[in-house]
A = this chain, B = another copy of it.
Amino acid sequence: MAELTLEDIATTAGVSRSTVSRVLNHQPNVRADVRERVWAVIQQTGYHPNAAARTLASQRSWMIGLVLPKSVGTFFSDPYFPQLTRGIAQACNQNEYTLGLFIMDSREEEEKLYPRISRTGLLDGILVQAGSTGDHLVERLLNSTMPMVYLGRPLKLQSVSFIDVANISGAKKAVSHLIHLGRKRIAHISGPTLSTAAIDRTQGYLDALAEAGMPVDTGLIRHGDFTESSGFECMQQLLAAHPDAVFTASDAMAYGAMRAITSQGLSIPAEVAVVGFDDLPTLQPPLPDLALTTVRQPIHEFGMQAVQLLIEVMDSPAAGPQGRTIETELLIRDTCGSHLACPV
C-alpha cells in the first residue's frame, strides 16, 4: 500500500501541490471553495502529511525532548516524575508537539544519547531535568545551541532559561507556621547535599528561624535522600535532641519521620509536630487518621508551564534566557497541630 503524498491529493483535487500545502497549513491565500474541495479530498482519503518531509523542508520538527540525566536516580521510585511527565505530555498535546523521552541509566547511555539529542532535525528544543549538580551531560547540553529549559534552579543563573518551584519561600512558610504555633525546637530533615531543591528548602528553614530571631542548632538538622526510610533514620537520630517539631524536605521523609516518632511512643502533633513538602497524592500515609501538613508543589502545572516556557524560548530565541518560578501552597492539616494551638 503506497502511502499517499501531497501530489496525489493535488491531482485528485485538481490543484497544485502548493495549494494543498497551503490548505494543510491553514495559510490564508486560498479561495474558500478550493479550500473546501481540498479538505474534502484529504478527509476522504485519510491523508496525513509525511512528518520527515515536512521537518526537512520547514526546519521544524514539532518535537521536543525530555532529558533525564543519569544523576536523576530516583526517577522511578519517586511519584514526582510520573506527575511531571504527565503535565509535560499534556502541554505537548495541547500545543501539537510530540514528546521524546530520553532516560539515561548510565554514563555510557549519556554518551550515546548526546549526539542523538543534539542532532538537528530531530528536536526543536529540550527540557532538561536538574540532577545532582555538575552533571556531565547537562554541562554539554548547556553549552550547545539547542533551545532548552532547565527544570530546577541552575547553578549560574542568567546563562540558561529555567523554571523552578519556589522552594525557599515554600519552606519558609512551613517553618514560620510552626514557629507561630509556638514550637521552639524545630528539627529539619533535608535532602541530598547536591540537590538544589534540598539546599533551597533548607535555606527557607534557616530564613524562617532567622526572621523569628531563633538560633540555629545544627544538632537539629540531618540530611536524608528524600526516601521514607531515610526520613525514619534521620528522625531516630534527631529524637535524641528532643525536638518539638520537624520540617522535612519531602513527604516521604515526613512519613518516615512519623513512623520513627510514633515508634518511640511520642504523639503527633502534641509532642512532635510534622510538616512535609510535596503533597504527592499517591503516597500512602502511615497513619490513616493523621493527615500530613505539607507544602504543596503543583507538579502537573509545573510541567505544563515548563513546556510553555520552552515554546517561548524556541519562538523567540533572541529574547535571551528566561526564568520562571512556580509558587507553593502551605496545606494545613493535622500533623502541625494547628488545632491544638489555635482554638479560634
Contact = CB atoms under 8 A, between A and B. Distances in A.
Interface of A: 1, 3, 48-56, 61, 63, 66, 75-77, 79, 81-83, 85-86, 89-90, 93, 96, 98-105, 109, 112-113, 115-116, 118-122, 145, 228, 255, 259, 281-284, 286, 288
B51 A282 contact: no
A54 B119 CA distance: 11
Given A86-B103, A103-B89, A282-B77, A120 B288 contact: no
B118 A90 contact: no
Nearest to A123: B51
Nearest to A252: B284
Contact of A284 (B49, B55, B228): B228
Contacts of A259: 288
Contacts of A104: 93
Interface of A is mostly: mixed
Question: Copy number in this complex?
Answer: 2
B3 A77 contact: no
A94 to B, nearest CB: 9
Given A50-B120, A120-B3, A100 B103 contact: no
A144 to B, nearest CB: 10
Given A52-B121, A82-B82, A86-B103, 5 more contacts: A51-B55, A53-B56, A77-B79, A89-B103, A99-B102
Contacts of A96: 116
16 contacts: A1-B145, A50-B120, A51-B55, A51-B121, A52-B121, A55-B55, A56-B56, A75-B82, A75-B86, A86-B103, A89-B103, A93-B103, A98-B116, A99-B100, A99-B101, A255-B284
A50 B116 CA distance: 10
Contacts of A284: 228, 255, 283-284, 286
When A and B form their complex, which 7 residue pairs have the shortest distance between CB atoms, in order from nearest?
A52-B121, A52-B55, A51-B122, A50-B121, A76-B82, A89-B103, A51-B121
Nearest to A113: B93
Contact of A81 (B51, B82, B286): B82
Contacts of A118: 48
Nearest to A86: B76
Contacts of A1: 145
Contacts of A66: 101
A103 B109 CA distance: 25
Point out which of A96, A104, A120 has the most chain B C-beta atoms below 10 A from its C-beta: A120
Contacts of A75: 82, 86
Contact of A281 (B54, B77, B101): B77
A170 B139 CA distance: 46
Nearest to A114: B48
A279 to B, nearest CB: 14
Given A101-B99, A284-B286, A119 B81 contact: no
